Chains A and B, each alone.
Chain A
Amino acid sequence: DADVTQTPRNRITKTGKRIMLECSQTKGHDRMYWYRQDPGLGLQLIYYSFDVKDINKGEISDGYSVSRQAQAKFSLSLESAIPNQTALYFCATSDSRTGSTDTQYFGPGTRLTVL
């Protein structure tokens, strides 16, 4: 079984619709992250959470919101989707107990298309 899962894996939606992407992990990690990836632009951080009560904006948080329902679950919402939010979205986790290493491990990704 995958340690980090994302649902759905693919989604096509229309402009203006509300969309939720979900991430679950069984790694027991306390830190979780949402990234988007556009061709040629690399990974950009949307939101991150260092524990259930700690949520922070990344570099491209406008148009997105998140919810950390439990240590193992971190959801990303697009309140009103727009076409330039078409991208590949990744959830990642890391474990603060590893100290300075704190390697991030990625889920399989959600390909979102906004028409």
Chain B
Amino acid sequence: GQNIDQPTEMTATEGAIVQINCTYQTSGFNGLFWYQQHAGEAPTFLSYNVLDGLEEKGRFSSFLSRSKGYSYLLLKELQMKDSASYLCAVRELYRGSTLGRLYFGRGTQLTVWP
């Protein structure tokens, strides 16, 4: 199974750095995704980690520790447009299969203040 936990809400100020944590419990782990979702809009892909370590992509970075069941999304130089919900999603493989499916956390609503 899977239990994906992330904070419900976070706030930060423009120009600051914020770290959004995600913990999970799963068998058959096969990757962790972060998505951004503005209110009423579609989730958009931000990052993917399958091996331990940090993946950097512009202002956004994502970290994974498989042994700890832990990931974080780091947002630097925050802008007002970064106010959104950030979804952590874990892919779990079906037993004995190369096929898998995503399980989503409930999302972290980030508000960026001027």
Chain A interface bracket (under 10, 10 to 19, 20 to 34, 35 or more):
20 to 34
Q: How far is the CA of A109 from the CA of B40 in the complex (A)?
A: 8
Interface stretch among A13-21, A65-73, A78-86, A100-108? A100-108
B23 interface residue per 8 A CB criterion: no
Interface residues on chain B, number (Cβ under 8 Å): 22
Given A45-B101, A48-B101, A101:B31 Cβ within 8 A: yes
Contact assessment for B33 and A103 in the assembled complex, using a CB-CB cutoff below 8 Å: yes
- Residue among B31, B101, B106 making CB contact with A42, cutoff 8 Å: B106
- Residue among A43, A45, A48, A111 making CB contact with B43, cutoff 8 Å: A43
How would you classify the secondary structure of chain B's contact residues: helix, strand, loop or mixed?
Answer: strand
Which chain B positions have C-beta within 8 A of A103?
Answer: 33, 45, 48
- Residue among A41, A100, A101, A104 making CB contact with B102, cutoff 8 Å: A104
B87 interface residue per 8 A CB criterion: yes
Q: Chain A CB within 10 Å — which of B44, B87, B101 has the most?
A: B101
12 A-B interface contacts by CB (under 8 A): A42-B87, A42-B104, A42-B105, A42-B106, A42-B107, A43-B89, A100-B50, A103-B33, A103-B48, A106-B43, A108-B42, A109-B41
B66 interface residue per 8 A CB criterion: no
